[in-house]
Structure 1
């Protein structure tokens, strides 16, 4: 018999969750306030982002370690002060937001936060606690060590994604160890390996783990994954995902 999905408040949503990956990037540059504003305006309540720490300890919503791809500056976030970072513009138009700015601008929204560096870990834990945001946050990382530290620091009321090794355990062995509340946030596949299949979803159900798939920007693939029974989809194209959900009658928004 399948276990009930975890009762963490973050997962309390009727229907598959729609995630705005980095806020979306079709109408505004990724991980900018303008992108998150657009996603929120059309009804998204789950916002995905990433965090790095500046040289002077400020937590910023930004994906890459280096600023070259999005800001045209060959420098690392960790080597610049917040005052320097605040002068930069993503794609030449939008400033880089602090994570605290996102929490304060969207106090009712839920955040998926990928902790990209060890240096960002303690500031993120402190910010979540200061904001009283534990019930509306799922924390992720590709580092199992980092995830374990965050689980320990945030306590039993936290929700985190699976690490890659935990995903393999669920995929191959159909089980997980430990009592931490977790979500399987995974790509459809990796190379020649299919990750999201009926078997994987069945394994996740038995373990009481919801399955959220990233990053899907194709309508046919969104429909295929929903037909498989996934619990959420992350996308860069928030208008497309909203449209597909609406067509299927599964779009939910509290606006």
Structure 2
């Protein structure tokens, strides 16, 4: 969402829920004592009034930090409890977050309300083994490469032991195009949805929806809502996801 709301805070999530969003996105890091925090950066330095790596600090220290000097860093468990009807897309930002995530899922029984992803394929594979089939996962980088190969021919299929439920990808990376209509078709052929991040321009949102994507991850929650309302799709299940991390 636009930074009129404080990122990584309960205020930001509440703003999105008030707009009508039911799919929320965040990143997680674990403290040194294994408490899972909803926070994008590995350190507190950029957005809070404290310094230090989250993984090197106990929860009691991280709990004292205030985003922009105002709002505390939320626990993932608190977010899941605050909005029991919402579904969460969760990016495991560190290896240390994998086991605490499992513990949170066990305590909250939110197995069917989360989709877990990571930019680290090994981390994601470990999470898949630990969490089992009850937890949906998105594509890791190796999965995305396999999907691109599958888009070249209907005869080619990903060889992963467990097909992710969705491909959450940028339009391009490092100047190299990732998203195409062929990739979208291949994902759909394999039973995967396609979610594109991070899209903040209304005209780009329109083009992506025309191309057939299933979800858009955005910081600009108001703009995405307006686009979907114009298209008569706001009250339908599907492509509306807010990004808070």
Q: Same fold (TM over 0.5)?
A: yes
Residue 25 of structure 1 contacts residue 35 of structure 1 at CA under 8 Å; is this kept in 2?
no
Q: Quick one: which of 207, 210, 235 aligns to 1:227?
A: 210
List per-residue Cα deviations over 1:91-120 (Å, max 9, x = no partner): 222110011110110111000000111111
Aligned partner of 2:55 in structure 1 is 78
**SS of the counterpart of 2:144?**
helix
Cα distance in 2, alignment partners of residues 154 and 97 from structure 1: 23
Higher relative contact order (CA 8 A, sep 6+): 1
Asked whether 1:176 is paired with 2:119, we answer no
1-structure distance, mates of 2:158, 2:130: 21
Instruction: Quote the Cα distance in structure 2 between the aligned partners of 1:56 and 1:95.
Output: 18
Query: Offset of 1:235 from its aligned partner?
Result: 0.4
Shift of 1:150: 1.1
| Paired residues for 1:43-192 under 5 Å | 43-174=20-151, 175-177=157-159, 178-192=161-175
Contact 2:49 2:65 in 1 (8 A): no
Contact 1:60 1:96 in 2 (8 A): yes
| Secondary structure at the counterpart of residue 101 of structure 1 | helix
Give the whole-Å Cα distance in 2 for the aligned partners of 1:121 and 1:137: 14
Is contact 1:51–1:60 with CA below 8 Å preserved after alignment?
yes
Give 2:190's aligned residue: 207
After alignment, is 67-76 or 201-210 more displaced? 67-76
Q: Distance in 2 between matches of 1:253 and 1:140?
A: 24
Deviation at 1:167, TM superposition (A): 0.3
Q: 1:46 to 1:26 in 2, by over 3 A?
A: same
Gaps of 5+ in 1: 1-23
- For 1:202, what is the secondary structure of its paired residue? helix
Which position in structure 1 is the counterpart of 2:243? none
CA distance in 2: counterparts of 1:121 and 1:160, whole angstroms: 13
CA displacement at 1:25 relative to structure 2: 4.2
- The alpha carbon displacement at 1:72 in A equals 4.6
Count of matched residue positions in the alignment of Structure 1 and Structure 2: 231
Structure 1 match to 2:178: 195
C-alpha distance in structure 1 between counterparts of 2:222 and 2:127, whole Å: 33
> Displacement, 1:86?
1.3
Q: Is the 8 A contact 1:54 1:77 kept in 2?
A: yes
Indicate the residue corresponding to 1:218 in structure 2: 201
Residue aligning to 1:9: none
- In the aligned structure 2, how far is the partner of 1:27 from the partner of 1:70? 14
Counterpart secondary structure, 1:70: coil
Whole-angstrom distance in 1 between the partners of 2:9 and 2:162: 35
TM-score after normalising by structure 2: 0.90
| CA distance in structure 2 between the partners assigned to 1:166 and 1:43 by the alignment | 31
TM-score of the aligned structures, taking structure 1 as reference length: 0.87
